[in-house]
Chain A
Amino acid sequence: MHKFANPTFFMKIANAIYPWAVGISVLCFVIGLPVALITSPPDYQQGDTVRIMYVHVPAAWMGSMVYAVMAASSAVYLIWRHTIAHIIARASAPIGAMFTALCLVTGMLWGEPMWGTWWVWDARLTSMLILFFLYLGYIALGDAFEDQERGDRAAALLALVGSVNLPIVHFSVEWWNTLHQSSILSMKGFSISVQMVVPLLLMVGAFQFYYIAVLVIRLRAELLAAKIRTARFNLAAAG
């Protein structure tokens, strides 16, 4: 695993993955979006409103998954001090925050016709809101220090604390209020029809590979920024 810690080697792999990630993401969007938004059947109760789900559910999954990636990379960074692990975590945070925001916005758009109100303190929307705040806290803490490394470590530790806290928040919020329909994709089998599962999975794939593609772009930018910092520092030291 440790040989991946070399940024040059890591970026070589990341750059090789990049065109594939872009390609698969675009392909999934091109096939998935028309199927999800036009040709898939409307729900017998929710009508066309159900189509919001094809954006809402993948966004919710990505919001949680990106946080898991962030927490895992932060752990790797704190234990082995691999800078690349932290760069992955830091580059992931804004993407994850945007997925979470997308999930909240689509949840609100869905809630208006369904519940008749833009915001309901429903268990899972509230959990996502807390997750969104955790992302904001992580980003803010990482930027709050003069010393970059100090911010990196504080943010990494916060990501870990948050990962312990998130399940607790999730269950307490669930206990606090259960109003939402039960989770759609359960392990025991699909409770919705295949015609809806296929576009949903396509959209999940599209979001997933979009994340990978954007992550690679952000990693490049982060590494370039680090190079510029070093160059400036050397210039100042030489001058």
Chain B
Amino acid sequence: MRGFTAILRRDLMLAVRNQGEMLMVIGFFAIAATLFAFGVGPEANVQSRISSGVVWTMALLAALLSLERLFALDYEDGTLDQLMLSGVEPAAMVLAKTIAHWLTTGLALLIAAPAVALSLQLPSQAYGALMISLLLGTPTLSLLGAVGAALVLGSRRGGVLLSLLLLPLYSPVLIFGAAAVEGAILGINTTAPYAVLGGLLILALTLCPWAGAVAVRHAVE
């Protein structure tokens, strides 16, 4: 447990001292949404119709963008080998790094999401659903992403490969995340998508740290 908090604190400190990363994620999120607005045109009703899906998709892509560096820097300078030798349970190490990743990117996305949604004319009754669905969904994205990031460690084409691996795995989260927001716009009870997002989060929380630990072990061996 001490090792877990130590790794968590270390990764958070690194993120705080090197804020470029967080800002980049938010910047990508905002710019991608702007490009979407250019793509579909300025009519408010068209934007409002697709805003729920666009905000969720852009948040997902922004989360994907930052994943490559989750383990890569520690892998390159050998820190990851030391962490694996340190006696901390590898799954706990992966979980700590994943939580740190979510706190620095997922949370940032959560803060930026209302502004992006506002610019895309998301109807006002849907903001609560947007925040709840992102809160339940983005940790799952980080957890799945940790497995993917560990799998591509040391590969020849990290970034593109990572997207190819993760986007199929991300599709259920996107479906239910966007469905919750869409439901809220239409005034439908959104308990079902929340429940599924929560279920996916619990499933990811129980399986991903272990799968990630196996992948990291393969990478440093």
Interface residues of A (CB under 8 A from B): 78, 130, 133-134, 136-137, 140-141, 144-147, 150-151, 153-154, 157-158, 160-162, 164-165, 168-169, 172-173, 175-176
Contact = CB atoms under 8 A, between A and B. Distances in A.
B161 interface: yes
A172 B175 contact: yes
B211 A141 contact: no
B175 A173 contact: yes
A145 B157 CA distance: 9
Nearest to A138: B165
B176 A150 contact: no
Given A157-B214, A161-B211, A172-B176, A141 B168 contact: no
Contacts of A157: 147, 151, 211, 214-215, 218
A173 B176 CA distance: 10
6 contacts: A130-B168, A154-B219, A161-B147, A165-B172, A175-B175, A176-B179
B196 interface: yes
Interface of B: 147, 151-152, 154-157, 161, 164-165, 167-169, 171-172, 175-176, 179, 196, 200, 203, 207, 211, 214-215, 218-219
The prevalent SS among residues of A at the interface is helix
Given A140-B161, A158-B165, A165-B169, A145 B154 contact: yes
Contacts of A162: 168-169
B151 A154 contact: yes
Given A144-B157, A146-B156, A164-B207, A130 B151 contact: no
Nearest to A145: B155
B216 to A, nearest CB: 11
5 cross-chain pairs, A with B, having the tightest CB-CB distances, nearest first: A144-B155, A172-B172, A137-B165, A133-B168, A153-B218
